[in-house]
Amino acid sequence: MKSEVALYVDEALGSYGFPDGHPWGPDRQDAFWREAAGQRLDKSAEVCGSRAASAAEIGRFHDEAHVERVHQLSDRGYGLIDHGDTPAFSGVYEASAHVVGAALEGLHRIMAGEVLRTFQPIGGLHHAARERAAGFCVFNDCGVVIDTLRSQYGVQRVAYVDIDVHHGDGLYYPYESDPDFIYADIHEDGRYLYPGTGAATECGKGAGAGLKLNIPMQPASGDKEFMEAWERVEAHLREHKPEFILLQAGADSIAGDPLAHLQYTPRAHAHAAKRLCVIANELCGGRIMGFGGGGYNRKNLALGWCGVLNAFIRGSE
Ligand SMILES: [Zn+2]
């Protein structure tokens, strides 16, 4: 049987990782891959390689000055790309361009009708703003996908669902007033965690008012609280009827992450992915892209992301 899922894993994507013991090290993709192969999930998905996105493609979302600055820092090989926790390394431009390129390849495959769903563990860089890097995120691959859906494929009504422990500020603010961008984000309350945004009162502005759903969670919230919040996400998507869904499935919301304080099990991620497949089948012709996002406990990211991939392989069974 032809696989319905394209899985984007290769050496170039794995090289998106910061050196010197940084929490987002270059070993995260391998941790996922070992678990995926152990569960034989790689046999049920089409394993695909990435390509480097061009500066023009990255520029669909990002300001030219940011793209150029990352290029320069990458050539130099040291320094900070943002104001604190995202260090430059030699080749960071190329690695970041491959993260975007894999996402564009996945999008192309879906729009060509070759696959229904994609999963890209090293992706979902949801803190990068149009003009700058932030929070370990250099280029915003999901932002480039959204702007590409609009400019190249004529798909306007896009939903972005984010269950990473951190608020997806790099997707929320650029589209805060957008009347066709449906946003749903369950994250640890910004009073306790970076980036400090994503209050429940942030529900969109102007023509985008009501299209954005932010659900801040108290520290130590577990699966029970997640499932209650998730029901609101489903209702939000059904009310606003997207044509295409993106999922950022950060595993840093699972209990035991070194940077955060939520207490989900990997079942939360599997549930979200499974339910989104059902909704994508109902509303979007099945079209959904999944991204790994954050996650700094290697066992958690392996189990959380394999739960997502497994749900995508099974579709809405
Ligand atoms: Zn995160």
pLDDT digits (tens, 9 = 90+) for 218-271: 999 999 999 999 999 999 999 999 999 999 999 999 999 999 999 999 999 999
CA 113–ligand 1 middle distance (angstroms): 31
Q: What does the DSSP 8-state code read for residue 207?
A: G
Residue type, 60: R
CA of 162 to the centre of ligand 1 (A): 10
The confidence score (pLDDT) of residue 316 equals 67
Question: Which listed residue (66, 126, 127, 166) is catalytic?
Answer: 127
Q: What pTM value is reported for the model?
A: 0.98
pLDDT lower than 70: segments of the chain = 1-2, 316-317
Q: If you measure from the C-alpha of residue 253 to the centroid of ligand 1, how many angstroms do you get, rounded to a whole number?
A: 8
Nearest to 161 by CA among 11, 293, 260, 59: 293
How many CB atoms within 10 Å of residue 170? 24
pLDDT of 2 reads 62
Say which residues have a Cβ less than 8 Å from residue 104's Cβ, sequence separation at least 6: 53, 57, 144, 145, 148
Cα of 293 from ligand 1 centre, angstroms: 6
Distance 114 CA to ligand 1 centre (A): 31
Residue 3: per-residue pLDDT? 78
Q: Where are the alpha helices (DSSP H) in 112-222?
A: 141-153, 169-172
Told to judge if 127 belongs to the known catalytic residues of this protein, a careful annotator would answer yes
Count CA within 13 A, CB hemisphere, residue 107. Answer: 29
C-beta of residue 186 within 8 angstroms of C-beta of residue 217? yes
Grouping H, G, I as helix, E, B as strand and the rest as coil, residue 69 is: helix
- CA 294 – ligand 1 centroid, Å: 4
Q: How far apart are CA 7 and CA 312, in angstroms?
A: 10
Q: Output the CA 175–ligand 1 centroid distance in Å.
A: 20
Domains of the chain: 5-314 (3.40.800.20)
Residue ranges of E strands in 63-131: 117-120
Query: What is d(CA 6, CA 116) in angstroms, rounded to the nearest whole number?
Result: 8
